[in-house]
């Protein structure tokens, strides 16, 4: 028998709306799943103690014939870097261990307005600086598909929550791969929207706390889900102009879910397994190439060909990205924080460097040349495909795989934060030892709908929907996991 937590968000919303089950029953199912699974995974750092009360209120609203939103009664979680009114938001830092914001971030505000119910906050790397979910307050988040391994980061708690069946939707953010990397490592779907399509406020826009206002020109908020349809439904909910965010872009995403099945006919798709130079695990090359070939052979009417975007030297580009992160950061505030609290090694390295104005202007110029080169490339191609990461999940407690020390194990995500393009990660299978692998789909700026459409095509070709593989190493009905 299918449990309520196993249903997709659209199925959950329809079930509540049609009275097949109540919002309270759905919330209880998700909370029971969290109680069963999270002791092994550690995806959540704070649960909403009013979740059942809010679910009962959602049920009463149905009886009053109130205006019902598209996500009415659907539980969702939020990365602990994104402010939530009345619910602790630690930013993964001991400095903010007891902070309870007065206001929701825009995306959370819009999810609540659509009827979604906040179940809790998910674990992250401290202030988002790093690509694992591990911090002094809550420890590491494990990968539900491989408990001995990391869930990735910095939205690792969100990816692990969805992969472990602990809610159908989680909101995270991505300043250099923080949505796509953990989604790929955990075997779930995500979309990093075009920069500015989803407004951010106060996070990244209101520098009232050191670290909260970081990543201003790089970060996007987006959904992590098990299916493409769910992410499209969330994007319809959270996208759209908001004057509080000076980077916000007026955009119309109405009817996005209805257009998911428009297909990829006549699209020209570039396949770049190494971006011309990245050091990628041969097994990941094999798996992602097989997935791309499956799309090409599916008779969908698209053209797929090998082509590398002219991004220049990848090592140099990583330096420009790191300098951009520093320029976006409150270095003075972070140094004061590091002087008063024990901070992560990532933050220690950031504030320990002697940054200069010339480094920042060089990085800005390098970013401009990258944008121009990639846009010229994308004039000839509708989409670009790459692996999402250079390797699959690695053992818990490490910042990077042992075999990639001194090398870039996540070279595919950050360039498209610098350009602001939409990029998704689609689960396409697992390695021989069962670690999930993702394929990245990059579109032109504001072509979020096309990225989702192509992701849907991949999902169908590869049958990568919920239920096609074990959702978690924690067995059904058991409180213990296996490694």
- The rounded distance, in Å, linking the Cα atoms of 461 and 264 is 12
- pLDDT attached to residue 367: 98
Which residue out of 79, 121, 146, 192 is catalytically annotated? 79
Quick one: which of 288, 263, 254, 260 has its CA closest to 274? 288
CB 178 within 8 A of CB 226: no
First to last CA, the chain: 26
- pLDDT attached to residue 63: 86
- The rounded distance, in Å, linking the Cα atoms of 302 and 298 is 9
Residue 148 lies in a domain: yes
Residue 79 lies in a domain: yes
| 329 tagged catalytic | no
Quick one: which of 322, 319, 82 has its CA closest to 211? 82
DSSP for 134-174 reads: EETTTEEPEETTEEEEE--SSSHHHHHHHHTTS-SEEEEEE
Task: Please state at what angle helix 228-238 crosses helix 448-462, rounded to 10 degrees.
Answer: 160
User: CB-based contacts of 224: which residues, under 8 Å, 6+ apart?
Assistant: 155, 158, 159, 162, 169, 170, 171, 172, 179, 182, 183, 188, 189, 190, 231
Q: What's the domain count of the chain?
A: 1
CATH number, domain at 95? 3.90.1300.10
CB 235 within 8 A of CB 107: no
Residue 467 lies in a domain: no
DSSP for 421-440 reads: --EEEEEEEE-TTS-EEEEE
**Tokens at residue 279, please?**
């050091």
| 410 tagged catalytic | no
CB 150 within 8 A of CB 395: yes
- The rounded distance, in Å, linking the Cα atoms of 72 and 9 is 10
User: CB-based contacts of 226: which residues, under 8 Å, 6+ apart?
Assistant: 8, 162, 163, 168, 188, 189, 465, 466
Residue-range definition of the domain harbouring residue 23: 4-462
CB 392 within 8 A of CB 434: no
CB 224 within 8 A of CB 170: yes
- pLDDT attached to residue 51: 98
Which residue out of 93, 107, 158, 178 is catalytically annotated? 178
- pLDDT attached to residue 467: 37
Residue 470 lies in a domain: no
Residue 475 lies in a domain: no
Which residue out of 22, 29, 93, 154 is catalytically annotated? 154
User: CB-based contacts of 357: which residues, under 8 Å, 6+ apart?
Assistant: none
3-state DSSP assignment of residue 44: strand
- pLDDT attached to residue 205: 84
| pTM tops 0.85, yes or no | yes
| 10 tagged catalytic | no
Residue 473 lies in a domain: no
Residue 254 lies in a domain: yes
pLDDT tens-place values along the chain, 483 residues long: 899 999 999 999 999 999 999 999 999 999 999 999 999 999 999 999 999 999 999 999 998 867 799 999 999 999 999 999 999 999 999 999 999 999 999 999 999 999 999 999 999 999 999 999 999 999 999 999 999 999 999 999 999 999 999 999 999 999 999 999 999 999 999 999 999 999 999 988 888 899 998 999 999 999 999 999 999 999 999 999 999 999 999 999 989 999 999 999 999 999 999 999 999 999 999 999 999 999 999 999 999 999 999 999 999 999 999 999 999 999 999 999 999 999 999 999 999 999 999 999 999 999 999 999 999 999 999 999 999 999 999 999 999 998 897 789 999 999 999 999 999 999 999 999 999 999 999 999 999 999 999 999 999 999 743 334 445 676 655 433 322
Residue 478 lies in a domain: no
Task: Please state at what angle helix 357-378 crosses helix 314-328, rounded to 10 degrees.
Answer: 120
């Amino acid at each position: 028998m299918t449990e309520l937590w196993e249903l997709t968000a659209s199925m959950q919303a329809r079930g509540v709306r049609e009275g097949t089950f109540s919002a309270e029953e759905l919330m209880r199912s998700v909370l029971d799943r969290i109680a069963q699974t999270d002791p092994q995974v550690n995806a959540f750092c704070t649960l909403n103690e009013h979740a059942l009360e809010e679910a009962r209120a959602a049920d009463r609203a149905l009886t009053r014939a109130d205006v019902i939103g598209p996500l009415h009664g659907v539980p969702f979680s939020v990365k602990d870097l994104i402010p939530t009114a009345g619910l602790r938001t630690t930013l993964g830092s001991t400095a903010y261990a007891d902070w309870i914001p007065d206001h929701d971030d825009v995306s959370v505000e819009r999810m609540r307005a659509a009827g979604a119910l906040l179940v809790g906050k998910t674990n992250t790397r401290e202030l988002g600086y790093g690509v694992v979910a591990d911090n002094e307050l809550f420890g590491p988040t494990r990968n539900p598909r491989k408990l001995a391994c990391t869930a990735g980061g910095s939205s690792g708690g969100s990816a692990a929550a969805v992969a472990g069946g602990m809610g159908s939707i989680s909101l995270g953010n991505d300043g250099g791969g923080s949505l796509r990397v953990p989604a790929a490592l955990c075997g779930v779907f995500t979309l990093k929207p075009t920069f500015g399509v989803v407004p951010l406020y106060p996070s990244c826009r209101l520098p009232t706390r050191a670290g909260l206002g970081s990543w201003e020109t790089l970060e996007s908020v987006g959904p992590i889900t098990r299916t493409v349809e769910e992410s499209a439904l969330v994007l319809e909910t959270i996208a759209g102009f908001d004057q509080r965010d000076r980077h916000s872009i007026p955009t119309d995403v109405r009817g996005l879910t209805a257009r998911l099945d428009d297909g990829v006919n006549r699209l020209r798709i570039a396949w770049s397994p190494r971006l011309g130079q990245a050091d990628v695990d041969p097994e990941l090359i094999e798996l992602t190439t097989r997935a791309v070939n499956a799309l090409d052979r599916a008779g969908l009417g698209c053209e797929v060909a090998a082509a590398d975007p002219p991004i220049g030297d990848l090592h140099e580009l990583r330096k420009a990205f790191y300098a951009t992160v520093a320029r976006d950061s409150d270095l003075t505030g972070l140094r004061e924080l590091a002087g008063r609290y024990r901070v992560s090694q990532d933050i220690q390295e950031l504030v320990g460097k002697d940054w200069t104005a010339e480094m920042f202007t060089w990085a800005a110029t390098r970013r401009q040349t990258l944008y121009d080169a990639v846009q010229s490339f994308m004039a000839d191609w509708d989409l670009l495909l790459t692996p999402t990461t250079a390797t699959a999940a690695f053992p818990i407690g490490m910042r990077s795989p042992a075999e990639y020390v001194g090398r870039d194990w996540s070279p595919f995500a950050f360039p498209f934060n610098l350009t602001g393009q939409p990029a998704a990660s689609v689960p396409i299978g697992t390695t021989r030892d069962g670690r999930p692998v993702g394929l990245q789909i990059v579109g032109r700026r504001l072509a979020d709908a096309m990225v989702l459409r192509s992701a849907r095509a991949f999902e169908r070709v590869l049958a990568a929907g919920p239920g096609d593989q074990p959702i978690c190493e924690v067995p059904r009905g058991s409180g213990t996991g296996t490694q």
